[in-house]
Amino acid sequence: MEQYATTGEQFNAREVFYLYTTESIATTGFGIDADCFGRGSQFKDMVKRFTGADASSKDMIKLLVLIMFPRLANLLGINLFDGESLGFFLGLINDVVKQRKDQATTAAKRNVMVDLLYEALTGQVNAEIKEQVKEEFDMSETKQKNLVNLSEEELKTLLMSNLLLLFLAGLDTSSATLAACAYFLSTEVEVQERVYNELLDVMDAEGNDELDYNAVQKLNYLDMCVHETLRCYPLADIERKCTKASYSSLR
């Protein structure tokens, strides 16, 4: 981004934020450095194949057959997801489960999502977290005990489904919203300056050059900008129209 800011060169915001979101998921979900902005990133390539970002006409025909003729798709061996990319991510899950089983201490724990999920599913959490899981997921004590008694294969399946949900639910949605928000900020210099000043104020108050989760919660104006972006370009079509003429802008 510094290069683009210096040269004034145009760039594809959608692609940049797609790579950024992929890198974030790789770090927070799997605890790996995917180097998505570099060339030859296997993780990036596998994500694109899994999510269908580079889908061809042939892939679209396969999807159509899968949806309209599921029995025929089953006979032809057509799967919803790419087999190689699915195997790649399953291999990552297997490595994590093996590491967590083999390590004698928690020294290697990285506090990423795959570690936290593994601990939750195997009962390696304190009473406070257990209560939080019970409240948020409306899960009884019996259901929690059943999760603890999962076989290794069932555990891997649950880990896989939850981690891959990050890609299906969070990749395109987050990257598209960030790209649209960045575009709006680039066209509204006044708003951009206000967001920038808010960031500086929060970092000064926190006494840290990096923003953690708690600091981000204090960025109220930035949150308003994101909501305004979603109002202009919602991720889902809603058949409702504003019937009032008055509207208060961000300014």
d(CA 192, CA 220): 14
Query: In terms of pTM, does the model score above 0.85?
Result: no
**pLDDT of 196:** 94
> Does residue 91 carry a pLDDT above 60?
yes
User: First CA to last CA across the chain, in angstroms?
Assistant: 26
Taking the C-alpha atoms of residue 81 and residue 160, their distance in angstroms, rounded to an integer, is 13
Residues 6+ apart with CB under 8 A from 195: 185, 221, 222, 225
- pLDDT for residue 4 is more than 90: no
Report how far residue 199's alpha carbon sits from residue 162's, in angstroms, rounded to the nearest whole number.
32
122 has pLDDT over 80: no
Which tokens is 164 given?
């891959």
Phi-psi region of 242 (alpha: psi -120 to 50; beta: other; left: phi over 0): beta
Task: Give the pLDDT band of residue 64 (cuts 50, 70, 90).
Answer: confident
**Per-residue pLDDT for 107 more than 60?**
no
Residue 143, pLDDT > 90, answer: no
Instruction: Specify the residue for token string 């201490």.
Output: 105
Backbone φ and ψ of 10, nearest 5°: -75, 150
Question: What is the residue extent of each domain of the chain?
Answer: 2-187, 188-251
Asked whether residue 151 carries a pLDDT value surpassing 80, the answer given is: no
pLDDT at 104 over 50: no
Between these two residues, 219 and 7, which has the higher pLDDT value? 219
Average pLDDT, the chain: 78
Rounded distance between C-alpha atoms, residue 227 and residue 232, angstroms: 9
3-state secondary structure the chain: CHHHHHHCCCCCHHHHHHHHHHHHHHHHHHCCCCCCCCCCCHHHHHHHHHHCCCCCHHHHHHHHHHHHCHHHHHHHCCCCCCHHHHHHHHHHHHHHHHHHHHCCCCCCCCCCHHHHHHHHHCCCCCHHHHHHHHHHCCCCHHHHHHHHCCCHHHHHHHHHHHHHHHHHHHHHHHHHHHHHHHHHHHHCHHHHHHHHHHHHHHHHHHCCCCCCHHHHCCCHHHHHHHHHHHHHCCCCCCCCCCCCCCCCCCC
For 178-225, how does the pLDDT look when each residue is reduced to its tens digit (9 = 90+)?
A: 999 999 999 999 999 999 999 999 999 988 888 888 899 999 999 999
